[in-house]
Amino acid sequence: MNNSISTTETIGNTVQKAKSAQFEFEKYNQAQVDEVVTAVAWSICNPANNKLISDLAVSTTGLGKVDDKILKNKRKTLGLLRDLKNVKTVGVIKEDKEKGIVEIAKPVGVVAAVTPSTNPAATPINNILNALKGRNSIIVSPSPAGLKVFQELLNYINQELNKIKAPKNLIQTLPSPVSKELTKELMKQSDLVVVTGSQNNVREAYSSGTPAIGVGQGNVTVIVDETCDLKDAAKKIKLSKTFDHATSCSSENNLVVIKNIYSEFIKQLELEGGILLNEDQKNSLQKVLWSNGKLNRNILAKSAFKICKEFNLNREYSEKTEFLMVEESGVGSKYPFSGEKLSPVLSIYKADDFKHAKDISNKILNYQGKGHSIGIHTKKSERSMELGIELPVCRVIVNQPHAFATGGSFTNGLPFSLSMGCGTWGKNSID
């Protein structure tokens, strides 16, 4: 009981500070709000800050690659700034004189953001910028592994906010050590919860009694058909799959390849640094990647070289390896390679034709990743339309590196985000 009271009071004090800051921030005009948003964005786009944050992210979480973290932090932040630029969030934002309707923007209040260790800086910054644009305050509950990263990032943020005399405590984090109890209480006392990460956290948010936005599970499947540019498709898949050692829920997990180009496409993937494992090697890898039916955290988001060392793949073979490939035909819990892997490992399925490819993809989605997205490399635009109409997905990515495209890109029209909703298919309130 005492612990419960202590947790309630601790969060209550933090939320009260956030409310006071938000009350002051709510009075800002649009230009002042945009100045705050830009200042916070600079805290991570500053090259020196970004390098230190990215180094810390990899060293403390053990996930990902420093250079890719740097690129991700910058790219995702600048992309969101582009999306938010000229968006009006203060006062009257829309008026329909014919219908006599006026739309006025109002803040939510205090936003609680629960963020993952896979993106301990990029995701919080994304949540923060969106919250601030609406004149909200925000309290971030990072994963325990990502706490040090966010604490350092918050120091940089406050340095920039102090320069423009923004309200204190506009952005806060939970006290160390971060715990499930503190996070649950934060969900209850805030005005809106945004959760990116485990499905357990998403379910907790939805049952907190507070309006919540949660994301679904990724397990991206990409079809490679007989009309596509095989070299281009292989290059894009390699770039996406190896980026940040596959920390993104949008990186390719399964490829479904039409059989009459199967052998040639495998060769193209091998030219990009892929290694196709034999059955014995596949079985050895399975034992390393999964433990008691769950992904082995010690292997997640590690380089292909490190994974090779874990199951003693020939050293000469592994030093030049960018990603690993295994052939698969089954789908479901008895075939773990058909699920999300969060590592530079691709499952390859062979399809008789496009209809068969759709059937395989549908089975995979219904096992894991329903609602998230699907990709296709093709010269037949009608096939991408078929996927959008027939399969349970919120996004179809066409002829693009999936991890770069799904969450927004400077080369497509999707908005920048690190939180992919999966609609009602993924039991989410957003898509």
The catalytic residue positions are 249
Sign of CA dihedral 21, 132, 205, 252: negative
**264, 343, 271: which is closest to 301 by C-alpha?**
343
Q: H-helix or E-strand containing 163? A: helix 147-163
- Which are the contacts of 181, defined by CB distance < 8 A and separation ≥ 6? 3, 7
* Structure letter (DSSP) for residue 118: S
Tokens for 313, please give them: 């793949």
**239, 202, 237, 245: which is closest to 220 by C-alpha?**
237
Tokens for 188, please give them: 């209850």
* Structure letter (DSSP) for residue 425: G
DSSP strand pairing (294-295 vs 252-258): unpaired
Query: Amino acid letter at 415?
Result: P
Dihedral angle computed from the Cα positions of residues 333, 336, 338 and 343, in that order, rounded to the nearest 10 degrees: 140
> What are the phi and psi torsion angles at 356 (to 5°)?
-65, -40
Contact 157, 179 (CB under 8 A): no
- Which are the contacts of 47, defined by CB distance < 8 A and separation ≥ 6? none
Give whole-number Cα distances, 65 to 54, 154, 304, 397, in Å. 8, 22, 12, 25
